[in-house]
Amino acid sequence: MKRSLLLTTGLAIALGAGTALAQVKPEIMVKQRQAAMTLQAKYLGGMVPMAQGKVPFRADVVAYNASLLDALSRMPWDGFAESTKDAKSAALPAIWNEPAKFKQAQDNFHNAVDALVRASKGGDEAAMKSAIGGVGKACGGCHENFRQKQ
């Protein structure tokens, strides 16, 4: 609940974030949102092999990466402005045609990151591993419907 409020506030702020969005070129907005996705992949990617038992589990790395994912999870969404509809990217039209569904997919991701942040503070290795998987699933759930197949 607190998180939802925070997100809503964050969104409202992001939407008015200093420079009027209309002034930012669509290709810059695409570059910025792709940058956020690249970094989400970096910090999730650093944890997945731990969740899979392929590398030694390190709770400190999970806590660190989760805190950075928490910030990154706020960054991509204002980049999907209507003005970017025709810019070159892997974004599917469903983003703008089904905004409620797209918002739901974002919320699922936020909730999964939130669960990981909480788990990373709890010290339970199994819970952290499960929460890492949850974030990966939420990424995939959004890509499934809103990104061109890679």
Q: Are 120 and 68 in contact (CB under 8 A)?
A: no
Which position among 4, 8, 17, 99 is part of the footprint of its own copies (CB under 8 A)? 17
Number of residues that bind its own copies (CB under 8 A): 37
CA gyration radius, the chain = 16
Subset of residues 48 to 107 that bind its own copies, contact rule: CB under 8 A: 48-50, 55, 58, 60-61, 64-65, 67-68, 70-72, 74-75
Binding-site member from 35, 87, 94, 127 for its own copies (CB under 8 A)? 35
**Cβ-based neighbours of 15, under 8 Å, separated by 6 or more:** 21, 78
Buried/exposed code over 5-35 (b: 16+ C-beta within 10 A; e: otherwise)? eebeebeeebeeeeeebeebebeebbeebee
Kindly tell me which residue out of 47, 119, 139, 142 binds its own copies, with binding defined by CB under 8 A. 47
Closer to its own copies by Cβ: residue 62 or 142: 62
Pairwise CA distance, residues 77 & 24, whole Å: 14
Q: Which residues bind its own copies (CB under 8 A)?
A: 9-10, 13-14, 16-20, 31-32, 34-36, 38-39, 42-43, 45-50, 55, 58, 60-61, 64-65, 67-68, 70-72, 74-75
